[in-house]
Structure 1
């Protein structure tokens, strides 16, 4: 079955922040020269949500503010799928594990078998939803991307071990936040970097999440505030 390349696909991007309180750095890699989307650009790990991501068990769910702000006209189950996709893409593109030691129950989806083989179950609790961006019309690929921030201390294992990474991103490296703009970055990445820099001193969820919405009518810069979840009895 062919894929409609003009369709807007849900996607997750992960910004791993290291040494927040001293010399903050973020993990980035370079896309290939022949990539259809953003060739040669330095980007954060990320990619489209897969169908199997919706059924992936999470050792720890998304935090409440993150979950509610993701619920912006989203279909049922998309919040969990976005979190799972973020963790899967981080593993596939960098070999870093965001999860907790544990054993999977049931059949492990094909795209998750290498992650499960590490002896971990994905954990979404450390993810903080900080940005959303819709790719402008006319691009060869369009994504409705949610950007998640996570502190590197939440990662399991050696932060400098990229031996299990795929070849999707090259030149994986921790880039000091103050030097990131020297690299060849997509415009939206520069915008997100400014948002991350503004959050260095505050580990709490933001009061609202920026949404850069590009459609056929206009480019809008909105704020997602979400709504509180009802308290359990």
Structure 2
């Protein structure tokens, strides 16, 4: 089973009434991959993501970490991963982050809003490769976005596609009670730790990025520094 590069976005709202909350939705019961599970917005990198013109640049630290240890044969770039993350966020939730400017070709959500997608504040939080034996396998990078960077009403999901249902902001202490994939539980724990460290200050990148590497028959846990 081939492993596809993928990007996932954790959108964090630290001003939510119930305390710091993350945006999640439920996959369909008939989905091949993780049916009925609650997940973050995201998906596989498309070929067009490599050429998408973004309205900003990743931070040097995030770009360097995203470039570490690509799987053999992959040509994915940090910019393509960032583009996939923001494209999937727009498609699955209708939420946008950017500033006035030209949208990449085919990005109708951004074109309609007159925005150029900006990945400059994305924080690389986690990486995991799906274990062998699953119906689909991904090399998923989990990227964190502060909800303060969203354009417009963060509670308006009217422009979302139907891939995720029950989109809502979930307080971090409550999120782990949902029906989650195991790796999502682990990522939520990492997010909660980062939020606790930040306190009332700015969200900062972790000292290193946890990496659950299941590319081989024997799983490995590593950190990307």
Identify whether the pair has TM-score above 0.5, normalized to the shorter chain.
yes
More off after superposition, 18-27 vs 49-58: 18-27
| Coordinate RMSD, CA, aligned | 1.5
Q: What does residue 92 of structure 1 align with?
A: 91
Q: What does residue 3 of structure 1 align with?
A: none
More off after superposition, 190-199 vs 113-122: 113-122
SS at 1:157 equivalent: coil
Distance 1:21 1:207, change over 3 A: farther
Q: Number of aligned residue pairs: give it.
A: 216
Instruction: Note the alpha carbon deviations across 1:73-119, whole angstroms, 9 max, x for none.
Output: 33666100000000000000000001111124xxx433x23322221
Q: What does residue 178 of structure 2 align with?
A: 183
In 1: Cα distance, 2:222 partner to 2:211 partner = 5
Instruction: Note the alpha carbon deviations across 1:17-54, whole angstroms, 9 max, x for none.
Output: 00169810000000000000000000000000011111
Q: Report if aligned partners of 2:7, 2:45 keep a CA contact under 8 Å in 1.
A: yes
In 1: Cα distance, 2:172 partner to 2:54 partner = 30
Give the gaps of 5 or more residues in structure 1: 1-5, 226-233
- 1:160 pairs with 2:155: yes
Give the gaps of 5 or more residues in structure 2: none
Q: Report if aligned partners of 1:14, 1:147 keep a CA contact under 8 Å in 2.
A: yes
Instruction: Note the alpha carbon deviations across 1:110-167, whole angstroms, 9 max, x for none.
Output: 3x23322221111010100010000000100000000001110001100100000000
After superposing on structure 2, the runs of 4+ consecutive aligned residues of structure 1 that deviate more than 4 Å are none
* Superposition pairs of residues 28-177 of structure 1, within 5 angstroms: 28-74=24-70, 78-104=77-103, 108-110=104-106, 112-177=107-172
SS at 1:117 equivalent: helix
Return the TM-score normalized by structure 1. 0.89
In 1: Cα distance, 2:137 partner to 2:25 partner = 20
Return the TM-score normalized by structure 2. 0.92
More off after superposition, 57-66 vs 135-144: 57-66
In 1: Cα distance, 2:147 partner to 2:153 partner = 10
For residue 181 of structure 1, report the CA deviation from its aligned partner: 1.1
